[in-house]
A and B are shown apart, each in its own frame.
Chain A
Amino acid sequence: MLLIACPNCGPRAQAEFSFERPLASIVTPTETLPDLIQKLFTRENPRGPSWELWRHTYGCAGWLKVHRDTHNHQISAVLPVDMETPS
C-alpha cells in the first residue's frame, strides 16, 4: 500500500485516498472534440512517472496533485491542487 504525504495532514495510508484521473485528463468546459476524446478515452496510460489527480477522501477531503511512477510505485511529489506543477 502506498504511503502518501498529504500536504495538509502528513503521511497517510493509501486506503484514505482515491485516485481520480491523470492530471492531463482534467476536462474544462471549452475543450475541442479531439482534446475531449483524448482526455476521456485515449489517455497516455504511462508506464513510468506522471502527474495524477488524487483526493484525500477519508482525511481532509482535499484534492491533490501526485507525481507517481506506475511501474515501481515511487511518489516523488504531492502538492495541493492549486499549486503549479514544476515543469
Chain B
Amino acid sequence: MWRWLLFVWIAGFIVLAFTWAPLVPVLGPTTRVLYFHIPAAWVTVVALGWSMLHSVLYLRTRRMEHDDHAAAAAEIGLLFCITATVSGAMWAKAMWGAYWNWDPRETSIFFILLIYAAYLALRAAIDDPARRARLAAIYSAVAFVTVPFLIFVVPRIYFSLHPDPLLNTRMKPDMDPRIVVGFLGMLVGVTGVYFWAQQLRVRVVRLERRLHLI
C-alpha cells in the first residue's frame, strides 16, 4: 500500500518540479537536476550513516541483524553515490563543458565511492560470518569518519565551481519557494525509496542466510 503512496508522491513531485517550479536564471533547464542529484547525494550520506550506526550496534551487541543492516546500507549507499556522481557528471557536461574535471566536489564523491567499494572488497575476503561482521563493522565505522570531511569540509576549503543552493555559507536558502517545495518533496520521496530498498535488501540477506543453514 505505502509503496504506491511513495510512487504517487514521487511522480506528483516530478510533475510539479517540471511544470510549476521556475528555472534558476543562470542554470536554465539544468536546474531540474537538483530534484534528483541532491536527494541522491543526501541519501548517500544517510545510507552510509545508517551503515555506520548498525556497525557500531553490531560491535556492541553482536547480533547478526545489525550486520545485515550495515552491509545492505553500504551497498545501497554505494548505488545512490553512483547515481549522484553520474547525474552530477551529466550536469557538469551541460554547465561546465566536461563530464569530469576534478572539481573538489567531484573528487570528494569519487573518494567516497572508492572507500565503500573497499568495504565490499573487504567483506568478500572473509569467509566466517561472525569475523566478517566484526571486521567489516570496524572498517565501516572508520570509513564514515571520512565522510564529513569529504562532503562538508573539502568543498569549503578548496575553491569549487559547484553551486551551493541549499546550505550555503549564509545558511539560508536563496531559491524560489516553489523550487524549495519541489526539492523537499523529492528529498522525502527519495529517502522513502532508500528505506524501502534497505528493508528489501535486509530481507533478502536474511533469507539467504536461512537457506544457507538448511
Partners in one complex: no
Q: Point out residues on B near A: beta carbons under 8 Å.
A: none
Interface, chain A (partner B; CB < 8 A): none
